[in-house]
Amino acid sequence: MAIPPYLQDKLSPKKRSKGKVLFNFLLIASLSLNVYLLQSPLNPDLTLAPENWSIEVAEAEATEISQETDSVQSPGQEDTPVQAVTAISEATSTETDSEKITEDVSSQLQATPVSYTVPSAENGEELLTLHLKIRNSLTHSVCRAMTKEQGCLTMSAYLSRLLSWKFDINKSMRKGDSLDIAYEMVPGKTRFRILKVVYNSQLFNEVYEANYFNGENTKWGSYFDAEGREIAKRVVDKFAPVKNYQEITSLPGDFRKGPVGHKGTDFKTPIGTPVHASFEAKVLRTNWNVRTNGYCVELDHPREGVKTLYLHLSRVLVKPGQYVKQGDKIAETGNTGRTFAPHLHYEIKSRDQKKIVYNPFNFKHIKSYYNTVALEERELFQKKVNLYDSVLQNS
């Protein structure tokens, strides 16, 4: 049967274009070459190329970032970035985008802690260290070395409290001042305890040192310089609102939220500690504004030209209009009102000028002194200092 002319074109085979033939040939050749290279014994390491490439990028990033953070790392931290890079390289060995790998490595390395741990030769506990260079504020410098989750704000507050006995931290710090800290972790809200602070001041050309020491015959530990003199002053018992307290946690003028700074001195002490009148006085009022002040007492001292306030009490033992002698017990410490921990807020203010508040350790009518390590405990104290020094040097 003859094929109609109008079907000739549809039934005859189509001629392939030269371009399609060439493309198919190259595709088959490429696939064959890949199979050969993967199975070839002459190139056993070729399949590892992507992983090796990831490690090289990580190391390059690590070098660049570690140079930027040398100012806040201690000498003992040289191995830390290497460990971080190894872990990151393994995690990113399957990535094929070089920009993605660089981004991941940078974020991980920036989170690497700069603290260094070393076992204590005395009790086997781990002690940690920080080595800082001051840049901008103290808080900014600490939070460059620790994250907020690690407690940088708490650490900054502790350091401020210690250093404020030596100089004004808001005015006297200079960029480039060095700060070395040894500390240990403790349970509870406190989180950690500073054991030693060494601050090198460019402004005063002096090195300030504070060592934590809790003697066998003392209830609470405190901080002392290298010679064994306590960093913080103490009020002579005759004038002291509380005779036994753990530490001073705030002084007049300390920064607080609001338009003004802190107006009083905070004595950290257990609930129920006796509170005494600093001078002979008349009781002006008690328990006003309980929501903020808690149970409280205000005394008037005409001879000294001041009024004294005692806040956050657990018990008030006097009444308005009552006269008391110097040293009389007027209340007991507590944790009432707007407060987060048991303490006594003690405030000395001028009778004539309400805005004037006095620091009890500098007030002319109050005598103060520096405590020192007892002679029988000097050897133990020096042993502690040597341990802290060793920890800082080895880190």
Of 297, 320, 323, nearest in space to 310 by CA? 297
In the Cβ-directed half-sphere of 130, how many Cα atoms lie within 13 Å? 28
Residue 116, token pair as written in the block: 């260094």
The CATH classification of domain 113-232+369-395, taken from the options 3.20.20.140, 3.40.50.300, 3.60.15.10, 3.10.450.350:
3.10.450.350
| CA dihedral for 374, 376, 379, 384, sign (positive or negative) | negative
Question: pLDDT value at position 36?
Answer: 58
The CATH code belonging to domain 237-366 is: 2.70.70.10
Residues of the chain short of pLDDT 50, as ranges, are: 1-15, 41-124, 256-259
| H or E stretch at 64 | helix 49-68
Report d(CA 293, CA 343) in Å as an integer.
Answer: 12
Looking at residue 333, its amino acid is T
Question: pLDDT value at position 340?
Answer: 87
Report d(CA 324, CA 350) in Å as an integer.
Answer: 19
Question: pLDDT value at position 254?
Answer: 66
| H or E stretch at 17 | none
17-73 residue pLDDT tens? 566 667 777 777 776 666 555 555 444 443 333 333 332 322 333 333 333 333 333
Report d(CA 263, CA 60) in Å as an integer.
Answer: 53
Beta strands per DSSP E along 214-305 = 222-224, 229-235, 247-250, 265-268, 274-276, 281-286, 295-301
Question: pLDDT value at position 250?
Answer: 85
Residue 356 has a CB neighbour count (10 Å cut-off) of: 11
Residue 165 has a CB neighbour count (10 Å cut-off) of: 16
| CA dihedral for 385, 228, 265, 238, sign (positive or negative) | positive
Place of tokens 């971080």: 84
* Widest pairwise Cα distance in the chain: 139
Report d(CA 358, CA 361) in Å as an integer.
Answer: 9
Residue 377, token pair as written in the block: 């405990």
CA 248 to chain centre: 19
User: CB–CB of 392/221 below 8 Å?
Assistant: no
Residue 276, token pair as written in the block: 């005494």
Q: 294 Cβ partners below 8 Å, 6+ apart?
A: 311, 312, 313, 334, 335, 336, 337, 338, 339
